[in-house]
Amino acid sequence: MNSLVITRTGTHLTIQDFGRFHYQHLGVSPSGAMDQRIIKELEKIIPLHHNQFIEFAYVGPSIKVKEGSIKVCVGGNCNMNIQKNNGTQIICQPYKSINLFEGDELNIHNTIDSVYGYIAVEHGLGLDPCLKSFSTDTKAGIGSINRPLKVDDTFEILEDVSSWDHLSIPNPAYKKETNFKVYPGPQLQFFTDQALQSFISSTYTISAQSDRMGIRLKGEAILSSESHDILSEGILPGSIQVPSDGQPIVLMRDIPCTGGYPKIAILNEQDISKISQLSPGSQITFDLQTIY
Amino acid sequence: MVLDFGDDSSKSISIEVNKAFSTISNLGLPLLNIIPSFNKIVIIFENSEIRDQNIEKITNEMNEIKPQSHKSSNKSWIIPACYDESFALDLKIIQKLHQTTKEEIINLHSSESYYTYYIGFMPGFPYLGDIPSQLITPRLATPRIKIPARSIGIAKNHTCIYPKVSPGGWNIIGQIPFDIFDLQNPNPSLFLPGDKVSFYSVNHKEFQQIQKKHFSINELIKEFSS
């Protein structure tokens, strides 16, 4: 038996995977990792991840091997070290496999110039899926673990580490992008040319009220010439909706299933991951593409 | 891909939406989500390649739907509801607004068979309608932070059931004695778009008796639907 325990939670610590699909017509959000590029990369080092990744934001957790030994890999740019059982400390790097033995503690201090980071554990975390996914939607209370992780949460990993060989890939070191290509949204025609002009020519600041549901922007108000209240319709991550205060919101992974605000534009899948890594205060611009 | 059925939230449009929804669901295409709402269906493909391959297939299928060929798998529900004052947090406001009695409101609410427009807002939350015109009430000016689980609400011309504790702006007029969304069940939602739902009034004692049985979704289907 191998087990690990959370000894410090950091912030926004949840289990995530590539998303929960086929249930949105029953009111269930797709959820999933905010930056899906990273868990895709981690797959190369820990192929037997069983779709059970630990996601953290800004401040990472500490995890300690309670029993046996485990192999993990951290994705995202972060500072971290291992506090070994024998008292020594080792600095370690993301995108390199890490072998942890009984009593060893991995401390992830913080993400560097980004927001989200991930831990993949070989053979997963011993969780059962919930509606065919391991992702946690804390607002709806859905998930293998239907809440953020807390100190003393313990995971039992039945299988032993397959190989102690060290695997690594080059750190993808994603460039921080602040200009986003967007495509016309379903209610683009609700906005006059003048409103569209100010949407693409002004700079928006990411607000501190952003979370897994949406990234709220502050800047030039864009007002609809028709209405800010439409009949609720299905929505998807990446949509940019504009409520009546004219401040756009980029919908993210834990979206509500339907929404009643007009959507001016939409980001592509890669850019949803990219924008998730920008912290509050970051300034962004949009570039509206005409071809859909 | 968005299928647009018109600019209206009428029941006849919704019936078309839900027919199309079940047709598309049964095509077995590699779709991530199919999301019906009052007048639209949003279809989410796994990637743009799959989208391009299947847009035509779906469009052809839509042109071929004939009303008489549609076999409905929808259920009719008769759901116990307790309109006791301890549950009906906003009954007094509605009484005052419509200058009517508590009994009349209960009679009106439990006299109709409602149509399930779609499930949204939160897991398992049914938008039901239309309620009798004498009950039409605007949303609360200030939404509640915590609405008790299983509460029955009304707002504008719709009625709903909150599957679990939630913030919300609907006027609360009663409560049902069981859960309508079960994560352990592969078909987690009691109600599906297109289902018919009516309520019958039970007193507090009957409510507690049903509550004590802790019905599963499958037992609820046997007990309260046809």
Tens digits of residue pLDDT in B138-170: 988 888 999 999 999 999 999 999 999 998 999
- Tokens describing residue A85: 């059982």
Neighbour count for residue B92 (Cβ, 10 Å) = 11
| CA distances in angstroms from B99 to A125, B152, B153, listed in the order given | 59, 21, 19
The beta-strand segments (E) located in A162-257 are 179-184, 204-206, 214-218, 233-234, 239-241, 249-251
Q: How confident is the model at residue B63 (pLDDT cuts 50, 70, 90)?
A: confident
What's phi and psi for A39, nearest 5 deg?
-70, -25
Partner-chain contact B35 A186, CB within 8 Å: no
pLDDT band with cut points at 50, 70 and 90 for residue A193:
very high
With CB atoms and an 8 Å threshold, state whether A131 touches B36: no
Instruction: Put residue A12 in one of left, alpha, beta given phi > 0 → left and psi -120 to 50 → alpha.
Output: left
CA distance A61 to A149: 10
Query: Any alpha helices (H) in chain A, and if so which ranges?
Result: 36-45, 193-201, 269-276
Amino acid (one-letter) located at A274: K
Residue A136 structure tokens: 């946690």
- pLDDT for A102 beyond 80: yes
Q: What is the pLDDT of residue B8?
A: 82
Provide the pLDDT for residue B62. 85
Compare all CA atoms of chain A with the CA of B40 and give the residue at the minimum distance: A233
**What element of type H or E holds A264?**
strand A263-266
Q: How far is B203 from chain A (nearest CA, A)?
A: 30
At B199, the pLDDT band (50, 70, 90 cuts) reads very high
What was the pLDDT predicted at B67?
Answer: 54
State how far residue B71 is from chain A, nearest Cα, in angstroms: 20
User: Residue A151: what residue type?
Assistant: V
Q: Which residues contact A26 (CB under 8 A, 6 or more apart)?
A: B119, B123, B124, B181, B188, B189, B192
Model pLDDT, residue B73: 78
A32, B31, A238, B3: CA torsion to nearest 10: -150
Query: Which contiguous run of DSSP H or E holds residue A71?
Result: strand A69-75
Mean pLDDT of B195-213: 97
Q: For residues A27 and B121, is the Cβ–Cβ distance under 8 A?
A: yes
Whether a cis peptide bond, with omega within 30° of 0, leads into B130 is: yes
Amino acid letter, A142: I
What are the structure tokens assigned to A152, written together?
């003393």
Q: Which amino acid is at A208?
A: A
Chain A closest-CA separation from residue B35 CA (Å): 5
How far is A92 from chain B, CA to nearest CA, in Å? 36
CA angle A194, A200, A202 (to 5 degrees): 95
Q: Which residues of B touch A186 (CB under 8 A)?
A: 2
- Outline where DSSP puts E strands in A96-241: 98-101, 105-111, 116-121, 154-157, 179-184, 204-206, 214-218, 233-234, 239-241
pLDDT at B111 over 90: yes
Contact of B91 with B102, CB cutoff 8 Å = yes
Give the span between the Cα atoms of B84 and B69, in whole angstroms: 44
Cβ-defined contact of B40 to A234 (cutoff 8 Å): yes
Pairing of strands B151-155, A78-83: unpaired
Helix axes A36-45, A269-276, angle to 10 degrees: 90
Instruction: Give chain B's length.
Output: 226
Interface of A with B (CB under 8 A): 19, 21-28, 30, 130-131, 140-142, 146, 186, 231-236, 256-258
What tokens does B226 get? 């046809």
A249, A241 Cβ separation under 8 angstroms = yes
Count of other CB atoms within 10 angstroms of residue B32: 17
Which of A229, A17, A41 is closest to A143 using CA atoms? A17
C-alpha Rg value of chain A to the nearest Å: 20
DSSP, collapsed to helix, strand or coil, labels residue A222 as coil
Rounded-to-integer distance, Cα A282 and Cα A203, Å: 10
Task: Look up tokens 């009546």; give the residue.
Answer: A244
pLDDT tens by residue, A218-245: 999 999 998 888 889 999 999 999 999 9
Q: Specify the pLDDT at position A289.
A: 92
- Name the pairing type of β-strands A53-57 and A14-16: antiparallel
**DSSP structure class, residue B71:** P
* Residue pLDDT, tens place only, A1-44: 899 999 999 999 999 999 999 999 999 999 999 999 999 999 99
For the stretch B73-106, pLDDT in tens is 789 999 999 999 999 999 999 999 999 999 999 9
Share of chain B above pLDDT 70, in %: 96
- Nearest CB to B44; choose among A142, A186, A236: A236
d(CA A276, CA A280) in angstroms, rounded, equals: 10
Computed over every residue of chain A, the mean pLDDT equals 95
Chain B residue at shortest CA distance from A187: B2
- The two tokens of residue A83 are 């506090």
Asked if B39 lies within 8 A of A231 by C-beta distance, the reply is: yes
> Which candidate, B199, B33, B103, places its Cα nearest to that of A132?
B33
Question: Are A181 and A284 in contact, with CB atoms under 8 Å apart?
Answer: no
Mean pLDDT of A171-187: 94
Contact B121 A234 (CB under 8 A): no
pLDDT at B88: 97
Cα B91 versus chain centre, distance = 21
CB B117 within 8 A of CB B191: no
Q: Indicate the pLDDT class of residue A74, thresholds 50, 70 and 90.
A: very high
Q: Is the pLDDT of residue A291 over 80?
A: no
**Helices (runs of H) and strands (runs of E) counted in chain B:** 6, 12
Residue from the list A30, A142, A186 with its beta carbon closest to the beta carbon of B33: A30
Inter-chain CB proximity A130 and B183 less than 8 Å: yes
Give this prediction's pTM: 0.92
Residue B69 scores a pLDDT above 60: no
Q: What is the mean pLDDT of residues A196-224?
A: 95
pLDDT attached to residue B70: 56
Which pLDDT score, from 0 to 100, does residue B71 have?
61
